[in-house]
């Protein structure tokens, strides 16, 4: 025999189970991203009234993407001056704090996303959700 075929079966490998785990992992990545952006917003570094800080939010986009923004997912529109704080855009100078860029780099550097996904899968396997599927 010149080939071997492995077939995986059972509730763990059903599409909805994988989607559930992926969605939870994206949710955790969104929460992490919000926290990392907010961590960059401190007095004299993008934080004045707290409006932008409170507006940082995330939304899941389909089954495979999460967007972290400055209010669009929470209020329907981004805080108008968020780009100015992020990139120093505009004629007044200032800003350029790169809080979204910093969060993106931290999440995508190393294996942060892989580690978060691994934790979620382990949590799902040990949790009640999969016990209900007979595991």
**Both tokens assigned to 11:** 């509730």
Mean pLDDT of 38-62: 90
In angstroms, the CA 58 to CA 30 distance is 6
pLDDT greater than 70 at residue 47: yes
Structure confidence by residue, pLDDT tens digits, 89-135: 655 556 789 999 898 888 888 878 778 877 877 776 666 454 555 54
Above 50 in pLDDT, residue 3?
no
Coil, strand or helix at 58: strand
- Distance between CA 107 and CA 109 in Å, rounded? 6
Q: How many CA atoms lie within 13 A of 108 on its CB side?
A: 6
> Environment class of residue 43 by beta-carbon count within 10 Å: exposed (0-12), middle (13-18) or buried (19+)?
exposed
For the chain, percent of residues with pLDDT exceeding 70? 73
C-beta neighbour count of 121 within 10 angstroms: 17
Structure confidence at residue 38 (pLDDT): 95
| pLDDT of amino acid 107 | 87
pLDDT in tens, 7-20: 556 665 566 666 77
Give the per-residue pLDDT at 61. 83
The pLDDT of residue 122: 73
> Residue 9's pLDDT is what?
60
Task: Tell if the pTM clears 0.85, that is, is over it.
Answer: no
Where do the domains of the chain lie?
A: 11-122
Residue holding tokens 């919000």?
Answer: 34
Alpha helices, H only, the chain = 15-40, 51-55, 72-75, 82-87, 99-108, 112-126, 128-131
């Amino acid at each position: 025999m010149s080939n071997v075929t492995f077939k995986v079966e059972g509730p763990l490998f059903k599409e909805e189970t994988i989607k559930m785990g992926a969605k939870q992992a994206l949710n955790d990545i969104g929460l992490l991203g919000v926290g990392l952006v907010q961590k960059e917003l401190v007095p004299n570094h993008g934080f004045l009234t707290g409006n932008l800080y409170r507006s940082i939010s995330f939304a899941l986009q389909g089954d495979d993407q999460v967007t972290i923004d400055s209010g669009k997912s929470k209020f329907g529109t981004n805080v108008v001056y968020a780009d100015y704080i992020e990139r120093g855009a505009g004629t007044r100078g200032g800003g350029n704090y790169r809080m979204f860029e910093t969060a993106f780099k931290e999440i995508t550097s190393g294996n942060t996303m892989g580690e978060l996904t691994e934790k979620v899968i382990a949590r799902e396997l040990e949790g009640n959700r999969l016990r209900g599927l007979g595991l």
